[in-house]
Amino acid sequence: MESAPGTAHAERSANQVACLRCLAEAGVAQTVGVIAAETGLSRPTVHAVLDDLVAAGLVEPSNAASAGPGRPARSFRFVREAGLVAGVDIGPRGARAVLSDLAGERLGYAELPREGRAVDLVRKAVEAAAKEGGADLERLRAVGVALPGVVEESGRLRASLALPEVVGAPIAETVADELGCLVTVDNDIKLAALAEQRGGAGRGHSDVLYLQVGNRVSLSIVLDEEIRQGSHRLAGELGAQRGMRWTRNAERGQLVWTSHPTGEAVLQAAAAGAADAQAEIKDFCGQIAGRIATVLLVVDPDVVVVRCGGAAESATLLGPLQAAVAKELVVPELPPFVAAALGREAAVLGAAGNAFDRFGSAIYGVQNYPSPWHKLTHDEERNYQ
């Protein structure tokens, strides 16, 4: 009895994913026999799948020699360099861009200062990352962009205190025309939260609250491993409430510090034992604890990932913040507060991963191939600060 067309198509796609994952995870050419053993598929099925993947340009035969006598076994490798995916994080001071191959391996990275229009900076940052990695942008398949502010589903900024000049601009359309690829745009803090959940400090947890303390206090929520957007894409945008101030002396959302110039400097001094800095951190945590406690009671996440500067500064904030939030609650249950793992690269890595998530079928030409978050977010040589 023949399978129904839909069932046969789904089975074929699943087999393609299994074989491609086997080759991607191996990182080197594999024989048909090894692929069959790893995937549990029959050799004829593997042969048929590989023929499809070779035709799609995702796999190619390898010339690896056989270790024994006789005709060498056919082997195949994942052509991860066949396509490129980029992530770009645009802020008021400049841009960061990361470029990866189809396996999620980093090929290039660049940081550019703010010069000219923000929309032009996206293209320039991608080009700089490609130049750093010696990559050909003719192979670029998708770009993810992170922007500060409320981002509409169309990719346009609806509101932004950090980049008011970009509000309403057709960022996605412009970048897509300039680079000739698919483009997706989302909020930078939401993408940072997604990256931390998929491959950072929140990995292994489905519900994550991400809190970033920088020039402003920002938060985002990941529920069931997806960014919580809300029906108007306003979830987590507490700054959209009239009169909302995280602290008494905040100015238009900007935090003001007294013992030292920046929050990072205050935390560094507090870690070094400076009494004035420690007192300011305690007072700061007490001021923001009430609103955080409210969010915790609404969301009840598995974990709270906190970022303020580098990992050391974030860790310094954890104790005082968790203690302050605990005082706001009449229940003993409190999720663990952990320091962010991806540092300042969280948003740009989240942008790249979001592009894989959104356009995976077009990027690979294979249905339901998983995004390579584990590769994007894992680099032992990278200094997350």
Mind listing the pLDDT tens digit for each residue in 205-263? 999 999 999 888 999 999 999 999 999 998 988 877 777 788 887 877 788 999 998 88
**CA torsion sign, 55 to 58 to 63 to 65?**
negative
Task: Say yes or no: do domains 83-192+344-376 and 201-340 share a fold.
Answer: yes
Rank 88-102, 225-239, 262-276 by mean pLDDT and report only the highest: 88-102
Which of 190-204, 229-243, 298-312 has the lowest average pLDDT? 229-243
Assigned CATH topology for domain 5-78: Arc Repressor Mutant, subunit A (1.10.10)
Q: Which of the pair, 19 or 314, is modelled with greater confidence?
A: 19
- Given a cut of 50, is residue 300 above it in pLDDT? yes
Q: Report pTM.
A: 0.92
Tokens of 35: 């692929």
- pLDDT for the residue 72: 65
Q: Into which CATH architecture does domain 83-192+344-376 fall?
A: 2-Layer Sandwich (3.30)
- Given a cut of 50, is residue 380 above it in pLDDT? no
pLDDT tens digits, 230-239: 999 989 888 7
- Classify each residue of 82-92 as buried b or exposed e, where b means 16 or more C-beta atoms within 10 Å of its C-beta: bbbbbbbbbbe
- Given a cut of 70, is residue 379 above it in pLDDT? no
Give φ, ψ of 180 to 5 degrees.
65, 40
Nearest to 281 by CA among 213, 227, 189, 216: 213
- Given a cut of 60, is residue 66 above it in pLDDT? no
Assigned CATH topology for domain 201-340: Nucleotidyltransferase; domain 5 (3.30.420)
Tokens of 204: 């292994």
Eight-class DSSP state of 254? B
First CA to last CA across the chain, in angstroms? 59
Tokens of 77: 């490798």
As a whole number of angstroms, the distance between CA 152 and CA 167 comes to 10
Place of tokens 């981002």: 151
Domain range summary for the chain, segments of one domain joined by +: 5-78, 83-192+344-376, 201-340
- Given a cut of 80, is residue 338 above it in pLDDT? yes
